[in-house]
Structure 1
Amino acid sequence: MLERHEIETFLTLAEELHFGRTAERLRVTTGRISHVLRKLERRVGAPLFERTSRVVRITPIGARLADDLRPLVQGIEDAVRRAVEAGRGITGELRVAFVGESTAPVLARAVAVFTERHPECVVHVHEAPLATTRSSLRDGSIDVLIASYPFDGMANGPALLHERRVLAVAADHPLAGAESVSLEVLGDHPVVQYPAVTSAAFKRDRTPDRTPSGRPVPKGPTGGTFSELLSLVAMGRGVLPVGELSRRYHPRPDLAYVPIHDAPPILRGPVWREGNDTERVREFVRAAVDANPGTGG
C-alpha cells in the first residue's frame, strides 16, 4: 500500500514537473523527492517520469497513475472534511442568494429553518443578478442559489417551486385577450431572448429554437435583466414565456400574461457548485426542503 507522503509527492511532481518546485511546496529537499520517486518506481516496476538536466516529463504510466489517484485522494479529503464538520457542528458563514422575486420567499423560509437549527452559522442573504449567477457560484461568493432549472454544470435539486407557464405579451397584442395559447404560437411571433451568459439548457427551455411541431421560432431582441425582458415585451418587440408568478411580482398595465396550456411547469430550487458540497450546504438544502413542503405556483 502506498503511504500518504508518497502519493502527495508523486501527485505534486506530476503537477509541477519540476523537482525544485515540488520540494519547495512540500517543504523537503530535492533529494527527498528523488528518494521517494525511486522507491515508488521500484514498486510500480516502470518509470513514472522521464527526467533530464533540463526537463521533467511524466510517462504514460505515470499519467495514468496520477489520473487514478487524484479522485481517490480528493474523496479521502472530502470524507475527512465532512467528519470534521460533523464533529464541530454547523458553524462559520454561509452565503445564499435568490434570483427573481418569486424565489425570495422560498429562500426566506429556508433561512429561517436553517438558522433555528444551526444558530452558530451566520447566513448572508443576497439577490443574485441574472448575469452573474454562474460566476458567483464558481468563485465561491455564493454557496447556494435558489434559481430556475435547468441550471447545467451545477449540482441542484430537489425542485421546491413548481410554476405553470404563461406567455408575457404586450397589453395591446392580438394574443392578450386569449383564454390560453399553445407553444406553437412561438413560431408566429419573435421571442425576446435571455442574455448570452445564461446557460444553453436554460435558454432552450425558456426560449426554444423550434416549436413542438418543428417550426422555427423567430428570435427577438435580448434583454440584460428580467425587467428589461419584460419592457421589451411591453414595447411590442416580442413575446416571452415566463412563470405565472410573474403576474404577482411583475404586474404592469402594459403587459398581459396568457396561460400556455401545453407547456411543462417551470421548476425552481437550490443550486450549488458540485465541489462545494460542505456540511453547511447540505444542511441548508435539507432545511430548504423541510421549509417548503408542497410549494406550488
Structure 2
Amino acid sequence: MMTLDQVRAFVAVAEELHFGRAAERLRMTQPPLSRQIQKLERTVGVTLLERDNRKVELTEAGRAFLDESYRLLALVESAGDVARRIDGGATGTLRLGFTAVSAIGVLGPLLKELERSLPGIEVILHERVTAAQADGIRRGELDLGLARPPFDTAEFESRVIFREPLCAAVPSEHPLADVAHPLTAGDFDGEPVISYNPVQSRYFHELTVRFLTNAHPRVEQQVHQILTAVLLVAAGRGCALVPASARSLGVQGVVYKDLVDGGGDPDGSEVPGQPVELHAIWARGRRSPMLRRVLAQIGRMQLAAQP
C-alpha cells in the first residue's frame, strides 16, 4: 500500500535528482530512502526513476506521477487545515431558521456580519414559524433558530437578540388612523380585530389577548403569520397588533399606531415599551465550536437597544 512517506520521499528525489541530497533534505540516510522508492514503484507497478551510478532521471510515468504527488500532498495539507478550522469553529455550514418578520430587522444585518467576521461559514436559510423551527432543531435539521417564545427551556437554550415595541396596524380609512394619541385597549372596544392562532402563533396571540384584556373587540380572523394579518388589515377586514418591524413591510393601505404602553410580555417579564422579543435558540447541550463562534458574534452585534 502506498504511504504518504513514500510519496514525500519520491518528491524529494524527483526534485533533487540525487538520492544523497534528497536523504539529507529528509533527515534520513540513503538506504531507507532507496527502499521507500522501491516499495512505491512496486505498489504503483511502474518505474518512476531511472538511476545508475552517475545520474537519476524521471521516467515519463515518473513525471506524470510527480504532478499527481504534488496534488495529493496539497490535498492532505488543506484537509488538515479544514479539519483544524472546523474544530475551531471558523468554517462549516450553519442551518439557520427564521420567521418571516424577523428577517426584516435582524436577518440582513446578521448575515452581513457573519460574512464579514466568519467568512468560512456557509449559512443555509430555512423560513419556518417558531414551532417548525423547534421541530427542525429537535430532529437535527437546523443548528440555530431565530424564534419567538415560548419554547421548552428543558430542550432549548436561548438568548434574546432583539426587542421592539408592539404597535397597532389599522386600515388607512379607519377612524383610528387619524387619532393623534397612542392607542389604548379601550380604543378597540367593539372594533373588528385580526388575532393569531393560539397554537401556531401562540406568542402573538397571547400578546394580543393581554393588551386587549379590558376591551371587548370582535375577533374576525385568526392567522398564523404577521404578514397575513397586515394584508387583511390593508383589505379593511379589521385591526391587528403587530411588532413595530412590520412597518417595513411596505403594505399600502395600512397605518401603524403606537400603543400606550407598547403591550406586555406574555410570560410576565414585562419590558416597558419593548415587549416583543426575538430569541436565538439551539438544542441544549449541542453547542458545536462553529455555533459557539456564531453566538459570540451575535452577542457582539447591536441589533436593538437592550434594557
Please report the TM-score for the alignment, with normalisation by the length of structure 2: 0.57
Aligned-residue offset at 1:131: 7.0
- Counterpart among 196, 204, 224 of residue 194 in structure 1: 196
State the distance in 2 between where 1:253 and 1:199 align.
Answer: 24
- Counterpart of 2:246, as a letter, is S
Aligned-residue offset at 1:167: 0.3
State the distance in 2 between where 1:88 and 1:252 align.
Answer: 45
| 1:175 and 2:176 correspond | yes
- Counterpart of 1:273, as a letter, is A
Determine the structure 1 residue equivalent to 2:21.
none
Determine the structure 2 residue equivalent to 1:204.
206
| Structure 1 segment 51-200 matched on structure 2, within 5 A | 88-90=87-89, 91-129=91-129, 132-147=132-147, 149-154=148-153, 155=156, 157-179=158-180, 180-195=182-197, 197-198=199-200, 200=202
Q: Give secondary structure in 2 for the equivalent of 1:292.
A: coil
Question: Residue by residue, what CA displacement relative to the aligned partner does 1:140-188 show, whole Å, maximum 9, x if unpaired?
Answer: 32221223x4232254543332222210111111211112201333443
Point out where structure 2 has 5 or more consecutive residues left out of the alignment: 1-82, 263-272
State the distance in 2 between where 1:187 and 1:151 align.
Answer: 28
Moved more, 266-275 or 166-175: 266-275
State the distance in 2 between where 1:175 and 1:252 align.
Answer: 18
* Count of aligned pairs: 209
Counterparts in 2 of 1:143 and 1:194: CA distance versus 1, 3 Å: farther
Question: Residue by residue, what CA displacement relative to the aligned partner does 1:14-35 show, whole Å, maximum 9, x if unpaired?
Answer: xxxxxxxxxxxxxxxxxxxxxx
Aligned-residue offset at 1:237: 2.5
Point out where structure 1 has 5 or more consecutive residues left out of the alignment: 1-83
Counterparts in 2 of 1:186 and 1:219: CA distance versus 1, 3 Å: same
- Counterpart of 1:247, as a letter, is R
CA contact (8 A) 1:95 1:123 kept: yes
- Counterpart of 2:200, as a letter, is T
State the distance in 2 between where 1:220 and 1:133 align.
Answer: 28
Counterparts in 2 of 1:262 and 1:210: CA distance versus 1, 3 Å: closer
> What's the Cα RMSD here?
3.3
State the distance in 2 between where 1:112 and 1:165 align.
Answer: 26
Q: Rg larger in 1 or in 2?
A: 2
Aligned-residue offset at 1:107: 3.0
Percent identity (aligned): 22
| 1:252 and 2:251 correspond | yes
- Counterpart of 2:241, as a letter, is P
